[in-house]
Amino acid sequence: MRIIGGKFKGKNIKYLKNTITRPLKDSIKENIFNILTHSNLINTAIEGANILDVYSGVGSFGLECISRGAKKVTFVERDKNALLVLEQNLSTLSIKKQSQIIKNKIEDMSFENNKQKYDICFLDPPFADNIFIQNFRLIKRNKIYKNNHIIIIHREINSNDNFDDWFRSIIIKKYGRSKIIFGRFS
């Protein structure tokens, strides 16, 4: 696994080889960033952005964002092994100051004290997890996103998630076993 663009392009990052975490494949990550950068339907820039990376695992998405000029990434992860690797990746790239780690679930974030607003919210829950829709409610209810935000969700291609009550889909792309959904809260 590697960084595919920006100032850390080509740098390898550590990842876990287990059945609990599912790393974001480089090819899918590259497609996500191509859409973010080149789609006329999305006008949210990565450069200078605040990013929320939920179910971040070892941080592949957020690390890529920092490499491409994001101002700050908040990583949300509860798996202890993934957190150790995430911290190693941040240390190796010397970007701890540009990151914040929430070592638990997003439900445990203190929204009352956190006035942070995010440009990009990326959710990559385990494919079998349907509870993550509650995270949508939490993000929307606490309005922790900027007006010109984008939500990106990585799901299994056969998932039948219904997001209509929570946000408006803009782009849906399918890659092998994965489906990437770009949207905005209404």
The pLDDT of residue 111: 61
Residue 51 is part of which domain span?
6-185
Q: Hey, what are 145's tokens?
A: 């996103």
CATH number at residue 30: 3.40.50.150
- Looking at residue 93, its amino acid is L
CA angle 109, 111, 112 (to 5 degrees): 135
H helices, E strands: number in the chain: 4, 7
Residue 18 sits at φ, ψ, to 5 deg, of -150, 180
Within 11-144, strands assigned E span: 50-54, 72-76, 99-102, 118-123
What distance in Å separates the CA atoms of residue 36 and residue 28, rounded to the nearest whole number? 12
Q: Is residue 132 part of a domain?
A: yes
Taking only the tens place, the pLDDT of each residue in 9-68 is 999 999 887 656 667 888 899 999 999 999 999 989 999 999 999 999 999 999 999 999
Residue 104 sits at φ, ψ, to 5 deg, of -175, -155
Q: Is the pLDDT of residue 112 over 60?
A: no
Q: Is residue 1 part of a domain?
A: no
Q: Is residue 16 part of a domain?
A: yes
What distance in Å separates the CA atoms of residue 68 and residue 113, rounded to the nearest whole number? 28
Q: Is residue 103 part of a domain?
A: yes
Q: Is residue 66 part of a domain?
A: yes
Q: Is residue 72 part of a domain?
A: yes
Helix (H) or strand (E) holding 32: helix 26-38
Taking only the tens place, the pLDDT of each residue in 82-96 is 999 999 999 999 999
CA 86 and chain centroid, separation: 13
Q: Is the pLDDT of residue 1 over 60?
A: yes
Domain count, the chain: 1
Q: Cβ contacts of residue 135 below 8 Å, gap of 6+? A: 54, 106, 107, 123, 125
Q: Is residue 38 part of a domain?
A: yes
- The mean pLDDT value of the chain amounts to 88
Q: Is residue 139 part of a domain?
A: yes
What distance in Å separates the CA atoms of residue 184 and residue 117, rounded to the nearest whole number? 14
